Structure 1
Amino acid sequence: MRQKKRSWQCSGGKRGLVPVATFRNIAIGQYIPGESMLHRLDPRTKIAVTLLLVVGLFFIDSYLGYGLAALYIALAVLNSGIPARFLFRGLKPVIIIILLTFALNSFLTEGEIIWQWGFLSLTKEGLYKGGLLAVRLILLIVGTSILTLTTSPLALTDGLESLLRPGRRVGIPAHELAMMMTIALRFIPTLLEETEKIMKAQMARGADFESGNLLQRAKSLLPLLVPLFVSAFRRADELAIAMEARCYRGGEGRTKLKQLAFRPADFFVLAGSGVFIVWLALVA
């Protein structure tokens, strides 16, 4: 049986090898071009359905409801053509948060005790609640990742601006808000990749991010902050210069090469998804 190759890096001159921490697994903020129906949908449709899904997941309180929501998300993933392993790989950076959420709810929720050791009490109700919250987090991450994976930055900006446009009557800067949110989303994978490069560079100089307890590992990450902030400000400055060089002056008077327009598929997806998600939130 062939073994999967892993990326290894020497650390601190110590004997042995430690796996290089990678941040490229996070799917939120990345875009994968494609020709699927999900890629061709109007960005406003995808944004609206994603918001409905996020809100609906907080109203579901049963495993049956989450199972149906997972089936809905699975159908969306199949339609998008995005490899499922890519989405699930994006859960690795937050797996500790998911496990911690499950553990805290399992031991801190009062109810029928099924196991006890000292002051720790594992309850039946805690397991049920912890499982629900863990599944909710997984579905939230996967569901929101589909939006950015199937929507280009330009389309996402146009869609957000169009949805926020009614707020301009009360002084809400729709274009500027949409631009800021889109840039923030797109900077996530960029900054994580920069963090990985800095970690590899410091490991080559003898830094050790793998040994020690949790507190010691957290302290070892502090030297990453200064170069990471410097890199972030440098990239932001370069982006600002590039936008000014292209005569960017905000959304006032700007025209668009591609005008957004709803198609029959958008109405079908929006209506069908809306009815299904509302039904899940109220009934399941």
Structure 2
Amino acid sequence: MSFIAPEIRDSAIARVNPVAKLIVALTVSLALLLSIDVVSAAVALALESVLLAWSGLSARQFWHRTLPVWVAAPLAGLTTVLYGEDSGAVIWQLGWISVTEGSLTLGLAIALRVLAIGLPGIVLFATTDPTDLADGLGQVFRLPARFVLGGLAGLRLVGLGIQDWRSLGLARRARGVADDGGIRRLFGQAFALLVISVRRGSKLATAMEAKGFGSSSPRTWARASRFGAAEIAVIAVGVAVAAVAIGVAVAAGSWNFVLA
């Protein structure tokens, strides 16, 4: 079972080793976290917008998957504008809430950073199959097999958890216990899902242990995780995006190193 939609699976970025995509996401995120300024985030977001056209996601898939980021970014910016550190001229004030030129700039920088970090991360991992990622972490990064396979098994259960939640809701409606008391119904259904998840996790752990997944012996892998020219090119593009964003911000004089 693949977690990637068929139309995305054949895209160029979906065929890249997930380890390379992970390195790109971490590189861009680290570069943007080193400073809080508008220029570097805006430049990175502009470059990413051009590159995301090659992700293979349709417009509907893109907006559907990234909707939480589009909601979180303005909220983070608004919170910073209203309650962030004041500096510069006061634009608006109501009691202990004030909006200044500095808080507006800081809020815009935070909102752009949330978008510049969140959007490529979601898109990159939307084109990544968990099994391919586990193969890459185990063979390329040489992470412990028990850790990698345990994480993969847990991730595979997420889809089952979503199906269980829907089944629980339908079953409760069929029994007539989901007609009123929305808050109580939510907590009751969540507790039932927790019980089901614990039971399934225990059975899965026992089955994996019985099949030798808990062994400390060297492990073989069913599929080879290859790391070649395409992966190096993707990493180079990610490093270039981070470098250009930092370089433009430094040249514009807006670079504000957070650790300074």
1:27 matched to which residue of 2? none
Structure 1 residues not aligned, in runs of 5+: 1-29, 166-172, 210-216
1:175 matched to which residue of 2? 145
What amino acid is the match of 1:31? I
Shift of 1:277: 1.5
Shift of 1:114: 1.1
2:137 matched to which residue of 1? 160
Structure 2: how far apart are the matches of 1:72 and 1:186?
A: 33
Shift of 1:157: 0.4
- The structure 2 residue matched to 1:142, chosen from 110, 119, 124, is 119
- The structure 2 residue matched to 1:278, chosen from 240, 243, 256, is 243
| Contact 1:60-1:66 within 8 A present in 2 as well | no
1:252 matched to which residue of 2? 217
Taking the TM superposition and a 5 Å limit, the aligned residue runs for 1:109-120 are 109=84, 110-111=86-87, 112-120=89-97
Shift of 1:224: 3.8
Specify which structure has the higher proportion of helix: 2
Structure 2: how far apart are the matches of 1:187 and 1:129?
A: 40
Q: TM-score, normalised by structure 1?
A: 0.70
Structure 1: how far apart are the matches of 2:185 and 2:116?
A: 32
Taking the TM superposition and a 5 Å limit, the aligned residue runs for 1:179-194 are 179-188=149-158, 190-192=160-162, 194=164
**CA separation of 1:184 and 1:78: change in aligned 2, threshold 3 A:** farther
Shift of 1:84: 3.5
- The structure 2 residue matched to 1:104, chosen from 79, 87, 93, is 79
Please state whether the residue corresponding to 2:98 is helix, strand or coil: strand
**CA separation of 1:60 and 1:180: change in aligned 2, threshold 3 A:** farther
Shift of 1:264: 2.0
Question: Is it true that 1:130 corresponds to 2:107 in the alignment?
Answer: yes
Q: Which moved more, 1:128-137 or 1:84-93?
A: 84-93
Structure 1: how far apart are the matches of 2:157 and 2:32?
A: 26
What amino acid is the match of 1:87? F
Q: Deviations over 1:167-211 (max 9, x none)?
A: xxxxxx6222323444454455554554455456557622454xx
RMSD: 3.2
Structure 1: how far apart are the matches of 2:36 and 2:121?
A: 20
1:264 matched to which residue of 2? 229
**CA separation of 1:281 and 1:174: change in aligned 2, threshold 3 A:** farther
Please state whether the residue corresponding to 2:99 is helix, strand or coil: strand
Structure 1: how far apart are the matches of 2:198 and 2:15?
A: 34
**CA separation of 1:81 and 1:118: change in aligned 2, threshold 3 A:** same
Structure 1: how far apart are the matches of 2:134 and 2:92?
A: 51
| Contact 1:77-1:84 within 8 A present in 2 as well | no
- Larger relative contact order (CA 8 Å, sep ≥ 6): 2
Total equivalences in the alignment: 241
**CA separation of 1:207 and 1:192: change in aligned 2, threshold 3 A:** farther
Please state whether the residue corresponding to 1:90 is helix, strand or coil: helix
| Identical amino acids, percent of aligned pairs | 24
| Contact 1:59-1:282 within 8 A present in 2 as well | no
Structure 1: how far apart are the matches of 2:127 and 2:36?
A: 29
Structure 2 residues not aligned, in runs of 5+: 250-260
Structure 2: how far apart are the matches of 1:186 and 1:140?
A: 25
**CA separation of 1:152 and 1:234: change in aligned 2, threshold 3 A:** same
- The structure 2 residue matched to 1:68, chosen from 35, 43, 50, is 43
Q: TM-score, normalised by structure 2?
A: 0.75
Structure 2: how far apart are the matches of 1:74 and 1:250?
A: 45
